Structure 1
């Protein structure tokens, strides 16, 4: 048994996850009534979501308390890359929807949805999250609030004694070890997630929106495999694909099934450590990226909005399209601060081009139908890009030395 466990541990995590995907699909077909298998996925995602807020809080405090004065981080460059890439993603979505127009079939939305009324509503939510109660932020996984309080406490503890700093460091290492244990359970979690997806959702309804799904996924693949590599090459002046493939393989694959950027924070942290990146930087950039680096969300918002415009015969000129790209980027950056994520921000973009709110809300219904594919690919792009741009900024800084 010991040898079997050692062999399992020595096997690549990615290979183990692929085995989990295959096994989950086989079990769903062979034993559709064994619903207890879905619990494996629920427990795994729950464990990741539970440990992620503590991990971010402790790592950021540790990074700031142990930071040596004069030592540079790459946060400015990373934030710029996050925002620039999100804007470009919005542009890709608008262009793709223009080139391949799709007519939507509107359906009433049964869920109790409360889309924000305007962009200021999104920004107001983000600002309120910054000043939220720290305990409440940890309980509700409000990463903007967690990051803000961790920075404040980290700066305050810079003057603490070496003993206190050692305790913080030890706590950081302990939490990181727990995260490592949880991530190693990923293959079992994937079995449950894959099983539940096939048994409960199926893909029957998706046939009606095959073209729309292809446009969304195609746009996201274009960003992941072409746009992001170009950005990496221009900024870091190195072959981008080893970094891009590693990020998609180890971060994107997990995010594809967990469908949660927050749950994928521990995975990204571990990948950054494997890549040898500066812990002082990625301890802040990864949780921040889970909040504002939303290329996948920008694609979703822009494609669905443009499809709604085409369906309703609303003309969108070049100037309006550019404004739509900007609004999409701002809205996407605030997606995680709004219950329901990117889909609930579609009415903001629709309102910009004169689509009534009652029809705009029905676009959300279309998004909910295709969310099995759309949300999975969106999260995979968002989360893997966090690692790509964190590494890119560090590589660029090293090149300038």
Structure 2
């Protein structure tokens, strides 16, 4: 009886979101009191993100292959409507970012800041080629490097091949999936400690001083992303489900968005989203595929970042933009966003691609990329929170149990 009421069992069974909020507050306090202490506890954040990134590729590979191998005939994964929502949501985000950029034009101070080592794609064809080559990547390399497009392709191929295997083989595959899932649950229970370390490190190293000079740019970026999260996504969900969308929106932002905000990695947040989908009682055949797919293709936040920073560059240089070009930018930004990496800062390297539409040189575009890294502590966190939480929103919106 005493063990059940002990501290560790209470923490293990407590409200995870509340514990994360406590971790955020404690992280701010530690960073404010001592930078040395913040540096010391930052190891918790690094370990947490490292654990998530380590387990995510294995989790996706095992769950997807097992779901397909053990899928009953007629038990469809209902993927088509989810993919449609992913594409529509990303394009609308880019279009709204264009409107926001014209309503609130931003002018940047472009200096010689392109000192980093960058390797951006030089065309839309380059982005698509990269996606195709990722699909046929060596499966071991895909797992080692976190190439989720390649992992999905090989998992689907293995699942189809194993679909006709013996029931004993399928049972072993199912047991392995269950074991990996238990490991993920354990890692997620450590989220409050990890968030505590991440917040302490972030506030200690950056604070908000470096962001003041880019306040207007941040306001446009964050304001557009919040508009997508609280207006556009609910509207899409309402059209799909014909019921109040906000309980679903708030649940996903609270249980997925908060973690994604601090990990700043859609890939690292895949285990969190899979756990949330399971908690919501969604169809495992669907979410085991749609969540990792969304981490690489559902990129509304990335589309906003690419569009706003590109048009800020355009306004700074005094380039006039007509309606057809603005629409073309929306399409290019949406396509480029779908090729964005699922790690921190992945969308920024695609800005030169969008800037090339206006004849802007890479030298100037990379200065804008450098500005993106300066404001990345807020921009990338908001972007990832929007991207990752929307994966669950759209998956749940298309789930028959939720309609």
- Interval of TM-score (by shorter of Structure 1 and Structure 2): over 0.9
Query: Match for residue 114 of structure 1?
Result: 119
Query: Match for residue 364 of structure 2?
Result: 359
- The C-alpha deviation readout for 1:233-286, integer Å capped at 9, x for no partner, is 001112111110000000000000000000000000000001110000100000
Q: Distance in 2 between matches of 1:380 and 1:340?
A: 13
Is the contact between residue 270 and residue 291 of structure 2 (CA under 8 Å) also seen in structure 1? yes
One of 309, 312, 323 as aligned partner of 1:307:
312
Q: Secondary structure at the match of 2:46?
A: helix
Write out aligned runs for 1:105-254 (5 A).
105-107=109-111, 108-254=113-259
Query: Match for residue 81 of structure 1?
Result: 85
Is the contact between residue 251 and residue 380 of structure 1 (CA under 8 Å) also seen in structure 2? yes
Corresponding position: 1:279 with 2:284? yes
Corresponding position: 1:41 with 2:23? no
Corresponding position: 1:377 with 2:399? no
Shift of 1:354: 2.1
Query: Match for residue 261 of structure 2?
Result: 256
| Structure 2 runs not aligned, ≥5 long | none
One of 55, 60, 68 as aligned partner of 2:59:
55
Q: Distance in 2 between matches of 1:339 and 1:191?
A: 19
Q: Distance in 1 between matches of 2:351 and 2:104?
A: 19
Shift of 1:88: 0.2
Q: Distance in 1 between matches of 2:393 and 2:62?
A: 23
Q: Distance in 2 between matches of 1:19 and 1:109?
A: 39
Q: Secondary structure at the match of 2:243?
A: coil
Cα-Cα RMSD = 1.4
Q: Secondary structure at the match of 1:335?
A: coil
Provide the TM-score with structure 2 as the length reference: 0.97
Q: Distance in 1 between matches of 2:277 and 2:138?
A: 29
Is the contact between residue 45 and residue 196 of structure 2 (CA under 8 Å) also seen in structure 1? yes
Q: Distance in 2 between matches of 1:78 and 1:9?
A: 33
Query: Match for residue 28 of structure 2?
Result: 25
Corresponding position: 1:68 with 2:63? no
Q: Distance in 1 between matches of 2:264 and 2:148?
A: 17
Shift of 1:398: 7.0
Q: Distance in 2 between matches of 1:98 and 1:354?
A: 19
Is the contact between residue 125 and residue 338 of structure 1 (CA under 8 Å) also seen in structure 2? no
Query: Match for residue 104 of structure 1?
Result: 108
Shift of 1:313: 0.4
Q: Secondary structure at the match of 1:304?
A: helix
The count of aligned residue pairs is: 398
Shift of 1:50: 0.5
Is the contact between residue 396 and residue 402 of structure 2 (CA under 8 Å) also seen in structure 1? no
Stretch of structure 1 that moved more, 155-164 or 106-115: 106-115
Q: Distance in 2 between matches of 1:153 and 1:62?
A: 9
Q: Distance in 1 between matches of 2:345 and 2:215?
A: 23
Q: Distance in 1 between matches of 2:275 and 2:344?
A: 28
Shift of 1:338: 9.4
Q: Secondary structure at the match of 2:105?
A: coil
Provide the TM-score with structure 1 as the length reference: 0.97
Q: Secondary structure at the match of 2:398?
A: helix
Query: Match for residue 18 of structure 2?
Result: 15
- Give the direction of change, closer, same or farther, for the CA distance of 1:294–1:345 in structure 2 (3 Å limit): same
Corresponding position: 1:298 with 2:314? no
